[in-house]
Amino acid sequence: MHFLSYIHSMKKLLKQVREVVRKANLPVVRKGPNGLVVPPKFTQEELNLMVKLLERRALRQNGGKLGSNWRSLV
C-alpha cells in the first residue's frame, strides 16, 4: 500500500515539474507602450518547488552542503 502512495506522489511531482518547465519556456511577452517584458505567472507552490530544485542542485554541486556560497542557488 505504501508503494502505491509513493508512485502517486512521484507522478504528482513529475506533473508539477513539467508544468514549471512549460511555463518557464513560454515565449517572451511584451506589453504596454514601452514594450516591457511580462514574466510568466507562477503559483506559490510552483515557486516553492523551484527553490527546492535549485537547493538540490546546489547541494549536488557543492558536495552535500550549502555553505556560504549562496550565489550557487542562482
Confidence of residue 69 (pLDDT cuts 50, 70, 90): low
DSSP tag of 38: E
The yes-or-no verdict on residue 66 having pLDDT over 60 is yes
Instruction: Specify the higher pLDDT residue, 65 or 74.
Output: 65
Q: pLDDT tens-digit profile of 8-63?
A: 888 988 999 999 999 989 998 899 889 999 988 999 999 999 999 888 888 888 77
The yes-or-no verdict on residue 4 having pLDDT over 80 is no
Cα distances (angstroms) measured from residue 7 to each of 37, 67, 71: 39, 33, 34
- Confidence at residue 67, expressed as pLDDT on a 0 to 100 scale: 61
